[in-house]
Amino acid sequence: RNGYEALKLLKSKNYDLMITDLEMPQISGYELIESARNDIKLEDIPI
């Protein structure tokens, strides 16, 4: 899997917690976290 797929999944369902690898293809875990923090729906999910 890759960071884009993770972001797509995060936006499609409700999750209580996000656990991510920091080294992923396409976008890194750091970029995934930044994208989640900038999304109003995802900003409060614990990582």
pLDDT digits (tens, 9 = 90+) for 10-30: 999 999 999 999 999 999 999
Predicted TM-score of the model (pTM): 0.86
Query: Is 22 a member of any domain?
Result: yes
What's the number of domains the chain is made of? 1
Residue 19 counted as domain residue: yes
Classify residue 31: in a domain, yes or no.
Answer: yes
The residue segments making up the domain with residue 9 are: 3-37
Sign, CA dihedral 19-24-27-29, equals: positive
Position 46 in a domain = no
**What is the rounded CA–CA span in Å between residue 3 and residue 36?**
11
Whether 42 maps to a domain, the answer reads no
C-alpha to C-alpha distance for 14 and 9, rounded to whole angstroms: 9
- 6 phi, psi to nearest 5 deg: -60, -45
Q: Quote the CA–CA distance of 19 and 36 in Å, as a whole number.
A: 12
How would residue 35 be classed by pLDDT, with cut points 50, 70 and 90? very high
